């Protein structure tokens, strides 16, 4: 599917323009509103979404200038919870993921150490650099009272994510059903221009891409939680590892059911959208 070429898109294809537009956004430190998202305002409701739509088109990702339906708004609100890191994540990570969420920049490569470095108080610099020595040097007093509190934080975070999965599953299903109706109607609507038809097809695949990215985020989060629990087990075995492990396995099982039952992605979007394989829960330590 080729994106539509319009005068404004030809204008913004100037090299580096999307990056220049994004620079002032890096300084934005918004306060929190519903769903943990920044509060409404011009930056979050107009500037970020518009710049992201243009940037995504420039990269060849499906992206539409059509207005959002109420379910599509809800889908993006629900996706926010799974595509953004903890608010106390290593420095700069939140801002980077915020730009990636709005598709101003492409999604960052998965960092399996991110959650563990967040809850352990560092190290804050260098992706995947989970060094206990650097952590103690940069944060000699630690950022927590005991390892038990770290096990409990992992367990509580997994449980919070798990509780939100059914809500995301419901709204994603509603959006996909509506998109199937939209796709079937394209051949029946009179006086439909090629631009309008392409914008509709772009929105269908844009929705599918968001759903797929959240499903991959489930995998990434489960991997981060597993990494954290396994490394806590090495650093300090505690009885709290057992309920944390059970919470993680329940989360993984639900993710597997979600992917298996999965979302019937419209056929014309399969080139742009890849869903993850079905996840199988497993214990922290495997024998043999």
Average pLDDT, stretch 133-151?
87
Flag the least confident range among 27-31, 92-96, 189-193: 27-31
- Within a domain: 218: yes
The pLDDT, as a whole number, for residue 76 is: 96
- Within a domain: 284: no
The tokens describing 32, both together, are 């929190």
Return d(Cα 244, Cα 20) in angstroms, integer.
44
The pLDDT, as a whole number, for residue 24 is: 53
- Within a domain: 123: yes
- Within a domain: 18: yes
* Residue in 152, 160, 125 with CA at minimum distance from that of residue 232: 152
- For residue 78, is pLDDT > 60? yes
Opening angle at CA 98, ends 93 and 101, nearest 5: 125
- Within a domain: 277: no
Mean pLDDT of the chain: 85
- For residue 2, is pLDDT > 60? no
* Residue in 161, 157, 191, 135 with CA at minimum distance from that of residue 82: 161
- For residue 5, is pLDDT > 50? no
Around 112, how many Cα atoms within 13 Å sit in the side-chain half-sphere?
9
> Is 40 exposed, middle or buried, given 0-12, 13-18 or 19+ CB atoms closer than 10 A?
exposed
**Residue 34 has what DSSP assignment?**
G
Distances (CA, A) of 275 to 32, 50, 176, 253: 30, 26, 14, 17
CA 178 and chain centroid, separation = 22
Q: By residue range, what is the domain housing residue 206?
A: 7-269
The tokens describing 69, both together, are 């339906």
Q: What's the length of the chain?
A: 288
> Cβ(114)–Cβ(85) under 8 Å?
yes
Other beta carbons within 10 Å of 206: 24
Taking only the tens place, the pLDDT of each residue in 238-278 is: 999 999 999 999 999 988 887 665 567 787 887 778 888 88
Could you give the number of structural domains in the chain? 1
* Residue carrying the six token digits 């329940």: 250
Flag the least confident range among 71-75, 128-132, 210-214, 243-247: 128-132
Higher pLDDT, 75 or 279: 75
> Cβ(144)–Cβ(121) under 8 Å?
yes
Flag the least confident range among 25-39, 50-64, 253-267: 25-39
Return d(Cα 197, Cα 199) in angstroms, integer.
5
- Within a domain: 279: no
Return d(Cα 229, Cα 232) in angstroms, integer.
5
Around 253, how many Cα atoms within 13 Å sit in the side-chain half-sphere?
9
> Cβ(53)–Cβ(63) under 8 Å?
yes
- Within a domain: 274: no
> Is 124 exposed, middle or buried, given 0-12, 13-18 or 19+ CB atoms closer than 10 A?
middle
- Within a domain: 156: yes
| Three-class secondary structure of residue 32 per DSSP | strand
Return d(Cα 141, Cα 150) in angstroms, integer.
15
66 φ/ψ sector (left φ>0, alpha ψ -120 to 50, else beta):
beta
């Amino acid at each position: 599917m080729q994106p539509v070429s319009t005068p404004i898109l030809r204008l913004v294809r100037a090299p580096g323009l999307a990056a220049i537009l994004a620079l002032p956004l890096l300084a934005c430190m918004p306060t929190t509103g519903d769903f943990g998202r920044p509060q409404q305002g011009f930056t979050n409701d107009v500037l970020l979404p518009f710049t992201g739509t243009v940037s995504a088109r420039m990269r060849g990702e499906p992206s539409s200038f059509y207005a959002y339906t109420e379910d599509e708004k809800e889908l993006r609100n629900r996706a926010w919870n799974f595509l953004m890191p903890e608010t106390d994540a290593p420095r700069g990570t939140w801002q980077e993921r915020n730009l990636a969420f709005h598709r101003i920049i492409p999604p960052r490569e998965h960092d399996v150490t991110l959650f563990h470095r967040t809850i352990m108080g560092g190290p804050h610099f260098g992706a995947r650099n989970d060094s206990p020595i650097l952590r103690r040097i940069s944060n000699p007093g630690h950022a927590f009272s005991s390892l038990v509190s770290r096990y409990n934080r992992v367990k509580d975070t997994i449980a919070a994510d798990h509780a939100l999965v059914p809500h995301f599953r419901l709204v994603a299903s509603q959006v996909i059903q509506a998109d199937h109706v939209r796709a079937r109607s394209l051949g029946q609507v009179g006086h439909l221009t090629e631009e309008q038809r392409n914008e509709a097809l772009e929105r269908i695949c844009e929705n599918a891409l968001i759903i797929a990215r959240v499903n991959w985020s489930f995998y990434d989060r489960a991997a981060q939680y597993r990494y954290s629990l396994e490394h806590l087990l090495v650093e300090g075995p505690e009885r709290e590892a057992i309920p944390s492990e059970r919470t993680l396995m329940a989360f993984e099982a639900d993710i597997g059911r979600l992917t298996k039952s999965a979302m019937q992605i419209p056929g014309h979007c399969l080139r742009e959208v890849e869903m993850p394989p079905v996840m199988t829960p497993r214990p922290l330590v495997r024998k043999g």
